[in-house]
Amino acid sequence: MRVDVFKIPQAGPDDVSGLHHLIQSGAIAPQQIVGVLGKTEGNGCVNDFTRGFATQSLKVYLAKYLSPEAIQEIVFVMSGGTEGVISPHLTVFTRQPDDPQRSPRLGLVLGTARTRPFLPREIGTMTMVTTVAAAVQEAIADAGAAAEQIHFVQIKCPLMTASQRSSQAEVVQISSYQSMALSRGASALGVAIALGELSLNDLQEPDIAHNFDLYSGVASTSAGVELQNCEIMVLGNAPCTSAYVIGHSVMDHALDVEAVRQAMAQTGQGSDRMVQILAKAEASPTGQILGRRHTMLDDSDISHTRMARAVVGAAIASVVQDPMIYVSGGSEHQGPPGGGPVAAIACLDE
């Protein structure tokens, strides 16, 4: 396959002008769009409607070119929260058959999959873990890659709203916000199972969103109210004719810029060839960073996920000198506690 990557600035969640320009110029063929990652300027919490607004705007626009069935096949992952210097934008991935004029080389491949819708009571359970694991394996097969060739797995997962909790036969003793963490965590553990980073024997249901020694080094999960299933995109390197390549590393803490440089170095390309950085962000649950106390978990006015995005976004932007980066908050079982996976996509020298 040949995968292409387009990073598009947005003036607002409903701004499709940049995508429109690329389609009108012929740079993007709507029929080849397989995934869209977005950073929208909401709060990234339960009531962040910028995610759904952005997705709806994209679907309405693409309906000019594609059938409802074709639009349904596109993976839309909108991550809310552009705190600090993070700039709102879209990253559009297209896929087409290999270019016969090019010789295959190790380059970016992409696969997608979806789970069935989850019942509210299944969110954050072993049922979710195993269901996600099976779907991730489907996405890896769709990418034509092996598990060890995967560098980043992006999942959009559901959460449980207050009305859904009240409709359950048994009283559910978690908040909507807590359900986001459980959903992200179970989805990430599903990635770890699918990639062989963990085995099912390593994991019990009480571990989910509690035992953070269990994690994936490539999972990135983002919860939202705008869907009930999980939408999955895997990114890796395999022989193909793509003009892009991906590398990854794991940040041990929110200021671990050396891990960002390691991910970039894995691509074999210079900093001027970097197209996008994808990362997870978390306020360390220990209340410490580099041996110093932080207060992100104690602030009742601002969610710690918002603070973490601002910190990690600034740290990464300082390395790549570009604030248009994808940083998602809440990294339960995504990298070590207080850290998170980071991936770099670069354009290969032609």
Q: Per-residue pLDDT tens for 189-226?
A: 999 999 999 999 999 999 999 999 999 999 999 998 88
Q: Kindly tell me if the per-residue pLDDT of 40 is higher than 90.
A: yes
Report the pLDDT averaged over residues 259-280: 97
Q: pLDDT digit string (tens) for 119-156?
A: 988 999 999 999 999 999 999 999 999 999 999 999 99
Common-topology check for domains 1-97 and 106-231: yes
Q: Kindly tell me if the per-residue pLDDT of 101 is higher than 90.
A: no
CATH of domain 1-97: 3.30.1330.170
List 7, 39, 156, 280, catalytic entry: 156
Q: How far apart are CA 87 and CA 11, in angstroms?
A: 10
- What mean pLDDT value characterizes the chain? 94
Per-residue model confidence (pLDDT) at position 99? 80
Per-residue model confidence (pLDDT) at position 166? 60
* Superfamily of domain 243-350 in the CATH hierarchy: Cyanuric acid hydrolase/Barbituras, RU C (3.30.1330.160)
Report the pLDDT averaged over residues 78-88: 96
Residue among 320, 323, 328 at smallest CA distance from 85? 323
Q: How far apart are CA 75 and CA 84, in angstroms?
A: 27
List 79, 222, 284, 328, catalytic entry: 222
Q: How would DSSP label each residue in 13-59?
A: TT--HHHHHHHHHTS--GGGEEEEEEEESS-SSTT-THHHHHHHHHH
CATH of domain 106-231: 3.30.1330.180
Using 50, 70 and 90 to split pLDDT, how confident is the model at 170? low
156 is a catalytic site residue: yes
Count CB atoms within 10 A of the CB of residue 206. 8
Per-residue model confidence (pLDDT) at position 164? 72
**What are the sequence ranges of the domains in the chain?**
1-97, 106-231, 243-350
The rounded percent of the chain whose pLDDT value lies above 90 is: 88
163 is a catalytic site residue: no
Task: Let me know: does 238 contact 143? Beta carbons within 8 Å.
Answer: yes
Sheet holding 231-240, edge to edge: 105-114, 231-240, 150-158, 219-224
Q: Which carries the bigger pLDDT value, residue 241 or residue 172?
A: 241
Q: Which carries the bigger pLDDT value, residue 145 or residue 300?
A: 145
Per-residue model confidence (pLDDT) at position 172? 58
